[in-house]
Structure 1
Amino acid sequence: LIVTFMIIALTIVGIRISNKADQSIMMVGMSKETAHQLGTPITSLLAWVEILKMENYNPEITCEVEKDVTRLVQITDRFSRIGNKPELKPENLGPVLSKSIDYLRSRTSSNVNYTVEIPENSSIIVPMCIPLIEWVVENIVKNAIDAMQGKGSIHLRLIDSGSNAVIEISDTGKGIPKRNFKTVFKPGYTTKKHGWGLGLSLAQRIVNDYHKGKIIVKSSEPGKGTTFKITLPKK
């Protein structure tokens, strides 16, 4: 309860802060504290996974649980280092995106239809921190699923655009009013009954500040859906 209250209080303060530098400090603090608080439960989950293995529990289920916990470990590790410059390595972006969508597809309702458009037999190499880029994609997709109320279509498209790689993620959700195209990236913005409205703000920080790219709402039409555009430099 104390942790929850603290995070909510920090969020309220963050919403009221207009200075970008102060918002940055607030975001770093919240990311590190969240990672710290997740540490103990994740360690416990890792122990339970080992117990499941020892007791020969359903191998398929155990494997999937282990994948999820391992992913949590990676994300928590990166969040604990938010504020520090991440190590970017040249990676082939296509397989990273395919893996993220496969992961989400296996964990969401069959009422959500995924389509992926990635150039065949092409390597689009981008300097990146894979866990952070995966998190950005998953955050946008999860927001899209919420906007579609768990039913609709999501289309991810990767474009080789000269010196940049462009990712477009489209949904068939309720849409975003044009006046909010920039507001959605501010800390505290949310249309959900639950949540702190920090996901897209952190996604923007990861793309713009850490990867020197850009994330925007490319287009949106109320009642028809939204397209987010992420541009990442190849060098």
Structure 2
Amino acid sequence: MKKPKLYERTRWRFALIIIALIVVATSILYTNTVVYQLKLDEEKRVKLWFDAQKAMFDVTTQEDEFCDFSLNLSIIESNSDIPIILTDEHYRIMDVMNYEDKDAIKDTAYFNKEIAYLKKHQKPLVIEDDVIKNYLFYRQSTLITSLEWFPYFQFALLGVLLMLSYFTFSFNRQAEQERVWVGMAKETAHQLGTPLTSLMGWIQNINMMYPDDEDLLMIAEEMNTDVELLKLVADRFSKIGAVPKLEPINVYDNLNKHLQYVQQRASRKITFDFPDPTKHAALMVNINPLLFDWVVENLLKNALDALEGKGQIEARVIDGEYFVHIDISDTGKGIPKRSFKSVFQPGYSTKKRGWGLGLSLCKRIVEKYHNGKIFVLKSTEGKGTTFRIQLPQIK
């Protein structure tokens, strides 16, 4: 079985994910390289600041009168973005720079924690002479910190944009599919209408013109049966896109109706195990019989195809607290686990003939028009499959 569209869509999604990851990885690598170079430059600036400060400490009192400290002061004052703490040998704060509105005297507790953190994560620069010993601690600038976080922010932003793009694309695609479904269904119902009207007229003519020909009348009766079936199909297609009218129906009676229909048309080597309505209290759900019957018929038809003329079809009803669960099982060839979701996608089919729309229509009818769910409950290749329909229960 070929599934080119599904395969192509999966491959494109995988390619887009790989491209996005490459873009993010490249951005992070480039930013980290820039940050590393800036850190080296910042270390040089701190070292220069340190040297300027140390040079002033090293000058003796006699030399002080003849030294020009304008360059040193200019270097020290030029630091406007690197947070610096200068302490004595006992780690008591002497001066702080670039800690925004923090004050060394008023915010002693804050700076004590800051010094404890810096002592743990870096080795301070030491300014000392024969008498004085000071320590210089510094943090990286806000610019470098921002650059370090930038690629991760970029990654998060890219993720949000991808999610928004995906949901927008999905919504537009679903809306487009909705229009295609409705248009196709309406057109199918319209196209069936003309030949149906003609066939009904021919059947009436046969009954009027040949009232004594039993063989011809029998053929006309069989034709009428098929015409009524085609009318039912056309009516179902015409309901797609419109809001169907729901009515309370007993689940057991509905299943028994389908049992009577399918049992007459199935191989004698196929057995059926359906609940007997006379042995169960009525269990009511709101459904549109015309559309819901289409769902059950599709599941039973698929079960018959999977059995290939031999096996068992079973129906079970489970009375939940808020939902009614209808399980339809067969002992056929089963479905691979990887296909549990894809079986409901348009175009999926294991048969050489057919459009692969049956289960897709079932899902649409159950979920869109009956506020329920339909899914593969379990399946084992070579042993069989169980589909579950879940409908809100009428209390």
Question: Kindly tell me: are residues 65 and 183 of structure 1, through their superposed partners in 2, closer, same or farther at Cα, counting changes over 3 Å?
Answer: same
Matching residue of 1:215: 374
Q: Offset at 1:42?
A: 3.0
User: For residues 60 and 218 of structure 1, what CA distance do their matches in structure 2 show?
Assistant: 44
Q: Offset at 1:29?
A: 1.8
Q: In the alignment, residue 162 of structure 1 is paired with which amino acid?
A: E
Say whether the 8 Å CA contact 2:252–2:283 is kept in structure 1.
yes
1:172 aligns with 2:331: yes
Matching residue of 2:352: 193
Matching residue of 1:72: 230
Say whether the 8 Å CA contact 1:170–1:225 is kept in structure 2.
yes
1:21 to 167, 175, 198: 175
Q: In the alignment, residue 177 of structure 1 is paired with which amino acid?
A: P
Question: Kindly tell me: are residues 126 and 60 of structure 1, through their superposed partners in 2, closer, same or farther at Cα, counting changes over 3 Å?
Answer: farther
Q: Offset at 1:118?
A: 4.6
Q: Compare 41-50 and 147-156 and name the one that shifted more.
A: 41-50
1:204 to 340, 350, 363: 363
1:112 aligns with 2:270: yes
Deviation string for 1:87-107 (max 9, x for gaps)?
A: 111122211111112111112
Q: Compare 159-168 and 136-145 and name the one that shifted more.
A: 159-168
Question: Kindly tell me: are residues 217 and 49 of structure 1, through their superposed partners in 2, closer, same or farther at Cα, counting changes over 3 Å?
Answer: farther
Q: In the alignment, residue 81 of structure 1 is paired with which amino acid?
A: K
Say whether the 8 Å CA contact 1:164–1:234 is kept in structure 2.
yes
Q: In the alignment, residue 192 of structure 1 is paired with which amino acid?
A: K
Matching residue of 1:138: 297
Say whether the 8 Å CA contact 2:374–2:390 is kept in structure 1.
yes
Aligned with 1:223: secondary structure? coil
1:154 to 280, 303, 313: 313
Which runs of 5 or more structure 2 residues have no equivalent in the other structure? 10-168
| TM-score after normalising by structure 2 | 0.51
Deviation string for 1:49-92 (max 9, x for gaps)?
A: 54459557479987776555434323311211211110111122
Say whether the 8 Å CA contact 1:118–1:158 is kept in structure 2.
no
Say whether the 8 Å CA contact 2:333–2:382 is kept in structure 1.
yes
Q: Compare 152-161 and 15-24 and name the one that shifted more.
A: 15-24
1:184 to 307, 331, 343: 343
Say whether the 8 Å CA contact 1:220–1:227 is kept in structure 2.
yes
Question: Kindly tell me: are residues 208 and 154 of structure 1, through their superposed partners in 2, closer, same or farther at Cα, counting changes over 3 Å?
Answer: same
Aligned with 1:191: secondary structure? coil
User: For residues 242 and 360 of structure 2, what CA distance do their matches in structure 1 show?
Assistant: 17
Q: Which has the larger radius of gyration?
A: 2
Which structure would you say has the larger RCO, counting Cα contacts within 8 Å and 6 or more residues apart? 1
Q: Offset at 1:171?
A: 0.7
Q: Offset at 1:188?
A: 0.6
Matching residue of 2:385: 226
Say whether the 8 Å CA contact 1:52–1:62 is kept in structure 2.
yes
Which protein is richer in helix relative to its size?
A: 2
Aligned with 1:228: secondary structure? strand
Q: Offset at 1:48?
A: 5.3
Task: State, as a whole percentage, how many aligned pairs show the same letter.
Answer: 50
| TM-score after normalising by structure 1 | 0.83
Question: Kindly tell me: are residues 123 and 187 of structure 1, through their superposed partners in 2, closer, same or farther at Cα, counting changes over 3 Å?
Answer: same
Say whether the 8 Å CA contact 1:91–1:128 is kept in structure 2.
yes
Q: Offset at 1:223?
A: 0.4
Say whether the 8 Å CA contact 2:252–2:275 is kept in structure 1.
no
Q: In the alignment, residue 83 of structure 1 is paired with which amino acid?
A: G
Aligned with 1:38: secondary structure? helix
Count of residues paired in the alignment:
222
Q: Compare 48-57 and 32-41 and name the one that shifted more.
A: 48-57
Question: Kindly tell me: are residues 169 and 63 of structure 1, through their superposed partners in 2, closer, same or farther at Cα, counting changes over 3 Å?
Answer: farther
Which runs of 5 or more structure 1 residues have no equivalent in the other structure? 1-11
User: For residues 203 and 71 of structure 1, what CA distance do their matches in structure 2 show?
Assistant: 19
Matching residue of 2:186: 32
User: For residues 288 and 324 of structure 2, what CA distance do their matches in structure 1 show?
Assistant: 15
What does residue range 35-74 of structure 1 map to in structure 2 within 5 Å?
35-47=189-201, 50=204, 51=206, 54=211, 57=214, 66-74=224-232
Question: Kindly tell me: are residues 44 and 153 of structure 1, through their superposed partners in 2, closer, same or farther at Cα, counting changes over 3 Å?
Answer: farther
Q: Compare 28-37 and 110-119 and name the one that shifted more.
A: 110-119
Which protein is richer in strand relative to its size?
A: 1
Q: In the alignment, residue 103 of structure 1 is paired with which amino acid?
A: Y
Question: Kindly tell me: are residues 145 and 121 of structure 1, through their superposed partners in 2, closer, same or farther at Cα, counting changes over 3 Å?
Answer: closer
1:83 aligns with 2:270: no
Root-mean-square deviation (CA, aligned residues, Å) is 2.7
Aligned with 1:193: secondary structure? coil
Deviation string for 1:129-184 (max 9, x for gaps)?
A: 10111111111111111122232211111222232221111011111011110000
Q: In the alignment, residue 97 of structure 1 is paired with which amino acid?
A: L
Q: Offset at 1:187?
A: 0.6
User: For residues 146 and 193 of structure 1, what CA distance do their matches in structure 2 show?
Assistant: 12
Aligned with 1:117: secondary structure? coil
Question: Kindly tell me: are residues 165 and 48 of structure 1, through their superposed partners in 2, closer, same or farther at Cα, counting changes over 3 Å?
Answer: farther
